[in-house]
Amino acid sequence: MTEATLTHAIDHGLSEDEWKHILRVMNRAPNLTELGIFSVMWSEHCSYKSSRVHLKKLPTSAPWVIQGPGENAGVIDIGDGDAIIFKMESHNHPSFIEPYQGAATGVGGIMRDVFTMGARPIAMLNALRFGDPKHPKTQHLVSGVVAGIGGYGNCMGVPTVAGEVNFHKAYNGNILVNAMCVGLARTDKIFLSAAKGSGNPVVYVGSKTGRDGIHGATMASAEFDDASEEKRPTVQVGDPFTEKLLLEACLELMATDAIVGIQDMGAAGLTSSSCEMADKGGSGIELNLDKVPCREKGMTPYEMMLSESQERMLMVLKPGREAEAEKIFRKWELDFAVIGITTDTKRLVLTFKGETVADIPVAALADEAPLYERPWVEPEHAKPLGEVAECASVGAALQALVASPDLASRRWIYEQYDSTVMADTVQKPGGDAAIVRIHRTNKAIAVKCDVTPRYVQADPFAGGQQAVAETWRNLTAVGATPLAVTDNLNFGNPQRPEIMGQFVLAVRGIGDACRALDFPVVSGNVSLYNETNGQAILPTPAIGGVGLMKDVTKHASVPFKGEGQAILLIGDTKGHLGQSIYVREMLGREEGPAPAIDLKIERRNGDFVRGLIEAGRLTTVHDVSDGGLAVALAEMAMSSGIGARVAHAGAGSRTGFWFGEDQARYVLAVPAGDVERILSDAKLAGVPAVKLGETSGTSLQFDGEAGVSVKTLKAGHEEWLPKLMAG
Amino acid sequence: MKARVTVMLKSGVLDPQGKAIGQALDRLGFQGVGEVRQGKVIELELDETDAARARARLSEMCEKLLANTVIENYAIELK
Amino acid sequence: MKARVTVMLKSGVLDPQGKAIGQALDRLGFQGVGEVRQGKVIELELDETDAARARARLSEMCEKLLANTVIENYAIELK
Amino acid sequence: MKAAVIVFPASNCDRDVAMALERSIGKPPLMAWHADASLPDRLDLIVLPGGFSYGDYLRCGAMAAHSPIMREVIARAKKGTPLLGICNGFQILCETGLLPGALMRNASLKFVSRSVAMTVEATNTMFTARYTPGQTIRIPVAHGDGNYFADKATLDRLEGEGQIAFRYAQGDNPNGAARNIAGIFNEQRTIMGMMPHPERVSEPLHGGTDGKAIFDSLVGALS
Ligand SMILES: Nc1ncnc2c1ncn2[C@@H]1O[C@H](COP(=O)(O)OP(=O)(O)O)[C@@H](O)[C@H]1O
Ligand SMILES: [Mg+2]
């Protein structure tokens, strides 16, 4: 076996120091297969070497948290023996290279993370960022990514119920495709990945292993001189049909007690699954690679260990249960092979054709993985916004804003996703958060993901807080009690101190908000190096939240329900225009500080609104976010076809009042007769509340301006994306 | 001139459709069927009389639109 | 023996995929492209040495599974 | 009333339609696995659910149409056992030839998931008796291949013989289907195939109950 050298290590993306570290922990030079295993386990993706120190500071516990970060996904308790298992994950780079397959396999990967723990996926979300709408690649990327997400999720029969999409030139060379999966399990049937015990069979199930995803750079080594470009596809093709079978087969086996531990083969497939299972179980694993089901002839141990073929799982069974398990996987027409055994050596040992081809202490791969405290600097603070001229017509500005890239309707996207399969979707895409009933019960979860990258860019700490707060607010707006979040931290190159600074501060902001809102982080994913030629993306820490509603019949939604209702605004309006969509779209200025976040106020206002919904006193709510109050009102009008007459009800400029992006605000519509009581209840709760006007007619009228027709607003709002996509 | 472009997944790239077709044929009792791969075929009319020029234009179409060369190969036939 | 089955929509059956490709080619600046039709191609390995027998088996596969003769035609080529 | 739902690999609306049947019948239907070659003796209704049987690879419904249980389903249908195919189930019925025509790729070339308005075209059937003639209802669709195609003679015959069950409302055809056809019957009206998903609007929390009448009609006719 060829001994690896420093050059090989560098080809594999390892640094010289990391190479020396390998020599130290191995006490000898590794061979190429072993080097490949190290390179994968010590990669940013698997080891979190740049981010781990900071992630450790996030709050991860609460009485309802069953499993925090560290397993395939986080688990929370929603009562009655039910658990929700969820996580978000990125597939950014593959989606840029091949948008359909990249996005599809991203969806497949995150679903496996969730069902490997024993959950049936019940909801999918996606957070997408594309470049400038006018960029020549954008249309192609949007259409491929959306078709890929739909293609995989729809076939799986899991409803895709919510998401978010932004366009900004900072993503021209690096789009973001983050997918979130939410699953349902029983609290006493949660499966972990530890390969405990010695002498237990290690079983491979799912699809066969091919040469998928073995990266060009790591293939540059001598061992593969005859492998042609043809043989090295670096983009994986998803097979949702096989995944659906794998899901059903796993859940069927999980109904028995045959499984000791189970883990999906995600990035770095067999390598990371076997190492992580052994590490968590405090055991060793011995694999006979001759037994690995291969799709192609002549696959080497190196290829088998590094392949990223999709739709595969690794399990450790109780001894003697193999036949029973095999029967289930055969029924579902899936590959099933006993490929190894757990040991007490705490080593990962691989044999192939009678020879030992790798022998590595598991701890060296896991605990000894490098850990960096990368230098960071605090990014420059955004300068004050300065004067903003008073807008001449709120209605005219609104007409432009609702048809702008970040505010236009996402219908073209979400109508390609099956959002109602499983027949438990109560709030489809288009609401503040989606609502999915827990099957055969009267309770439901609410889910949504959010982040406002331009705020994070202007102020990483406040932007991190805001991402959490907005997610929390969206869950609250439908009547759910927010319980926990997952995150997907997308940033540029962490070796640049200013990017690392964004990361560190944003994570602090997230942690701060999660603590203040009792909204712990139970799982997550980090995607770094999202930059091209030194141009980093906007820092984009996406937050995916889950909330619980005990009585699904008590929920609120965005559309006005009828004319003659009073419109109330909850929360304080200062007219903050810094980093607002208004100044960006209308004045071409991406300037000013991000809005201030006060988490005590956030919580107080949100708790008040939720209390009204839970009491059955409120059914029409929309939170105020991008575009401010005027846009929130327009969304309520467009979704119902009902207009409103409203008037400025505060100090400050009209522009600031209608388009400012102050936080912690909600718009409510209530029967006229309820206004007084709600206002007095708000006063008692210390919550700012004011009446803005009432619903009426079919146009929106601000401060006595000429009304803008809701129909016209809606036409512009609905038209933008289909037009873009029609080329 | 009529042309036919055939676009197939590169060998080594998983072809779930081909795999499923192979299994279905097997279930239907067709024995002795080896590997099955599924691809696309695109037939076009070109207002071109010169074969070399036609080929050049078709290659460009394939590179730009008809095939995704990250995972697919294409072949051009003129009729 | 290797075989190739080409399945195309019957003429008269609308082919939106072909049409979309034609429009996309046009947008990309490829002029003089007439009708475009898209179909499927299925490549199979058969353990058969006799061409006539191979053809007969392939026809049966097409009739039973590979083509929907309500809307599609098929053609068989042996290599 | 005894109903069976056939489960193919990657069916994914089997549970949803079973719930809808259970709500109307009062007890859960039998779930029959595609590899089983037989069905219980007495069955009042067989349902082919929506989903992506066999991944919808090659053509939607093509592979499921040839699975072992379909031989039995076809035999029962020919003897008159009522058969309902929803979405993928409709595609399978066309692939088996139990219903005429074919479901082609949506004209938009995109998957479409939304609520559509449609009219009830025939109410003198066991599937639709609980609707009123010409009633407009809203039911969600979710499919990539729902573009109903048949030659002119077949379409004329379907129209002439009252074999059209549902039509998309004018201007709300989500897939390009010929003559706005959303669902059809066989000649005897013992088989119905439809693209929309009635099981997804069968209780108030779904935001509508326009689909429930189909299950209620069947219960009314068959128990
Ligand atoms: N990629 C997507 N997939 C599914 N639904 C989406 C997607 N993007 C946006 N949506 C839906 O469109 C609506 C508007 O999204 P967004 O503007 O992010 O809401 P909010 O301002 O309340 O955070 C929401 O219901 C959201 O779930
Ligand atoms: Mg919202």
Q: How far is D105 from chain C (nearest CA, A)?
A: 8
Are the C-beta atoms of residues D143 and D87 closer than 8 Å to each other? Answer: yes
**pTM attached to this predicted model:** 0.95
Nearest CA to ligand 1 atom 24: A430
Q: Looking at the DSSP assignment, which residues form a beta bridge with residue A360?
A: A348
DSSP state for residue D175 in the 8-state scheme: S
- The rounded Å distance from CA D38 to ligand 2 centre is 51
Contact list, B64 vs chain C (CB under 8 Å): 28
D95 carries an active-site annotation? no
Burial A295-315 (b: 16+ CB within 10 A, else e): beeebbbbbbbbbbbbbbbbb
Residues B11-50 have pLDDT tens digits of 888 999 999 999 999 999 999 999 999 999 999 999 988 9
Q: Which of A57-61, A294-298, A604-608 has the lowest mean pLDDT?
A: A294-298
User: Which of A91, A160, A401, A414, when mutated, tests ligand 1's pocket best, judged by the most ligand atoms within 8 Å of its CB?
Assistant: A414
Residue A214: CB atoms within 10 A of its CB come to 25
Residues A669-707 have pLDDT tens digits of 999 999 999 999 999 999 999 999 999 999 999 999 999
pLDDT over 70, % of chain A? 97
Nearest CA to ligand 1 atom 15: A164
Nearest CA to ligand 1 atom 2: A163
pLDDT above 60: residue A222? no
Q: In terms of C-beta density within 10 A (0-12 exposed, 13-18 middle, 19 or more buried), how is residue A168 classed?
A: buried
- The rounded Å distance from CA A662 to ligand 2 centre is 14
Q: Is B66 on the interface with A (CB under 8 A)?
A: no
Weakly modelled stretches of chain D, pLDDT under 50: none
Q: Which of A558-567, A676-685, B65-74 has the lowest mean pLDDT?
A: B65-74
Contact list, B24 vs chain D (CB under 8 Å): 54, 58, 62-63, 66
> What pLDDT, on a 0 to 100 scale, did the predictor assign at position A267?
77
Q: How far apart are CA A285 and CA A697, in angstroms?
A: 70
Q: How far is B30 from chain C (nearest CA, A)?
A: 8
pLDDT band at residue A233 under the 50/70/90 scheme: low
Q: How far is A107 from chain D (nearest CA, A)?
A: 16
Q: What is the mean pLDDT of residues A67-72?
A: 95
Are the C-beta atoms of residues A177 and A436 closer than 8 Å to each other? Answer: no
Amino acid at A656: G
Q: How far is B44 from chain A (nearest CA, A)?
A: 22
Q: Nearest-CA residue of chain A relative to D114?
A: A415
Which one of C35, C41, C48, C58 would you mutate to disrupt binding with B, by most B Cβ within 10 Å of its Cβ? C41
Q: Looking at the DSSP assignment, which residues form a beta bridge with residue D185?
A: D192
Angle at A503 between CA A498 and CA A506, to 5 degrees: 120
Using alpha carbons, select from D213, D83, D75, D61 the residue that is nearest to residue D144: D61
Contact list, B20 vs chain D (CB under 8 Å): 54-55, 57-58, 63
Are the C-beta atoms of residues A593 and A385 closer than 8 Å to each other? Answer: yes
pLDDT above 60: residue A225? no
Q: Looking at the DSSP assignment, which residues form a beta bridge with residue A681?
A: none
Are the C-beta atoms of residues D4 and D45 closer than 8 Å to each other? Answer: yes
Q: Is B14 on the interface with D (CB under 8 A)?
A: no
More confident residue, A223 or C73: C73
pLDDT above 90: residue A226? no
Residues A124-176 have pLDDT tens digits of 999 999 999 999 999 999 999 999 999 999 999 999 999 999 999 999 999 99
pLDDT over 90, % of chain A? 92
Using alpha carbons, select from A131, A165, A159 the residue that is nearest to residue A146: A165
Q: Which two tokens stand for residue D3?
A: 């109903």
Residue A158: CB atoms within 10 A of its CB come to 28
pLDDT band at residue A99 under the 50/70/90 scheme: very high
β strands within A210-319, DSSP E:
259-264, 284-288, 312-317
The answer to whether the Cα torsion of A388, A389, A394, A397 is positive or negative is negative
Q: Crossing angle of helices A240-254/B16-27, nearest 10°?
A: 70
Task: Report the DSSP pairing between strands A620-623 and A666-671.
Answer: antiparallel
> What pLDDT, on a 0 to 100 scale, did the predictor assign at position C11?
87
pLDDT above 70: residue A69? yes
Cβ–Cβ below 8 Å for B20 and D63: yes
Q: Which are the catalytic amino acids of A?
A: 45, 91
Which residue matches tokens 């190479």? A19
Nearest to A416 among D50, D111, D197 (CB): D111
Q: What is the mean pLDDT of residues A488-492?
A: 97
Q: What is the mean pLDDT of residues A345-349?
A: 96
- The rounded Å distance from CA A432 to ligand 1 centre is 7
Nearest to B71 among A210, A233, A309 (CB): A233
Contact list, D87 vs chain A (CB under 8 Å): none
> What pLDDT, on a 0 to 100 scale, did the predictor assign at position D208?
96
Cβ–Cβ below 8 Å for A309 and B14: yes
Cβ–Cβ below 8 Å for C71 and D104: yes
> What pLDDT, on a 0 to 100 scale, did the predictor assign at position A212?
86
Q: Which of residues 5-24 of B touch C (CB under 8 A)?
A: 6, 8, 18, 21-22, 24
Q: Which two tokens stand for residue D115?
A: 């609520």
Cβ–Cβ below 8 Å for B14 and A241: no
More confident residue, B79 or A17: A17
Q: What is the mean pLDDT of chain A?
A: 95
Ligand 1 pocket at CB < 6 A: A 126, 128, 160, 162-165, 410, 413-414, 417, 429-432, 450, 474, 625-626
Q: Crossing angle of helices A240-254/A99-115, nearest 10°?
A: 0
Q: Which two tokens stand for residue A477?
A: 């707006």
Q: Which two tokens stand for residue D223?
A: 């128990």
Q: Looking at the DSSP assignment, which residues form a beta bridge with residue A204?
A: A314, A337
pLDDT above 70: residue A481? yes
Q: How far apart are CA D182 and CA D186, in angstroms?
A: 14
Residues C31-47 have pLDDT tens digits of 889 999 999 999 999 99
Ligand 1, atom nearest to A477 Cα: 22
Q: What Cα–Cα distance (Å) separates residue D51 from each residue in A240, A700, D9, D91?
A: 12, 43, 9, 10
